[in-house]
Structure 1
Amino acid sequence: MKTNNKLNKIRSKAKDVCVWIVIGLVIGCIVGWSTHTAIYNITHKEPEVSVGYVTGKLENIGELATQKLTYSGKVPLEEGSIPFITKKGFVMEYNATIKVGIDVEAIKVDIKNDKVIVSVPHTKLLDTPHVDPSSIKYVDEKKAIFNWTTKEDVAKAIEEAENDIAENEAIDLQGLFANGDENLETLIHNLLDDVVGDKEVEVKFMD
């Protein structure tokens, strides 16, 4: 009889231990899952999409060039227009790049419901066309090539090239601006679409 009582007590204690082990495991799982969920929520939290947040993403760019044209020009030179060339019959050849884009500070951002509205100006020329000094050469009627000898010659040549670009109707600036606007819209979507959560980015051009 005493043996049975001892066995019953041992079994009862074993059951109690098993119950507490099960309870401990359940609590451990709950705590572990809660911790995992909290960490996941912190590390995968969607950014708070505010005007300041979006503007900050854009301000890191500074000046935004959206289209570039490389142009090769020829300028007939009048007598004495370049200091060391004193006779007619010379043509100045040069290469230049023309960039269009916008100043990012001109961009306005507004958030309405599920939309991020980005208002931008139309693209314009960014500074004056850049004439590559190393590309400048002078060719006479016999196709002989001459190079400049002084800094003054270079400065004058660049001035002549810039004037040629400004007056040359063959350069389609309106087409360049249209392509620049299209590229600008694409660039803004590439910059913002993946960082504004579920919101839709809409680009509007200012009049």
Structure 2
Amino acid sequence: MRYLIFGDVHGNLPALEKLLKKEEGNFDQLISHGDVVNYGPWSNECVELLNDIPNTIRLKGNHEDAFLSGNYPGSNEVVKAFFEHCYRKFKKTNFIAEYQQMYDIKKFRVQHTISNEYIFPDTDISKMNIKRNYVIGHSHYQFDRIFENNRLINTGSIGQNRKFINLAEYIIVDEEKDILILKNFIYDVSLVINEMIAENFPKICIDYYKTKPQL
């Protein structure tokens, strides 16, 4: 089995569509590890697209949880502004309510994150009680780490890379060949920014995308 594993799409339809076109015919199963929604202008469309692809595993992230509860629990003013704008327009609650919490493949457990933590390439994970191999996301930083003989992979983010906003990251896991490949591509983030402007996103949201470094 060959898996295309990704997450943190965050309403970025152009990046998601480019991923699917780029990897067309190169996988047996899709696994989305959460946060399909919020931030970008196309939460509904991204949820619909993933729902229409057969044999796709769809997992919950913290932003699905927020949309399902109708409340963003954090204090970050930028995220609150995104949530208030995007949640009002979201119509696919019944779809994301069916998302799973985790999914196990041969060597890895795939889930949004571990213990609700943002795990970065340099995060001290010595106290996190990691006892198996994981594929996660959440922090929007791609990495491949070994800790006490366990492997911890972060796929990065398809829709909102924290280092370079126009870089989309994901992985391929090929069980037959026993390989895992970290992959990425560049997409046109101006498509997202222009749509945000057209949809009258708050200025704080538009400025967030405009000020991020690009490749």
Tell me if both proteins adopt one fold, taking TM over 0.5 as the criterion: no
Instruction: Give the alignment's TM-score, normalised by structure 1.
Output: 0.21
Bigger helix share: 1
Larger Rg: 1
Instruction: Give the alignment's TM-score, normalised by structure 2.
Output: 0.21
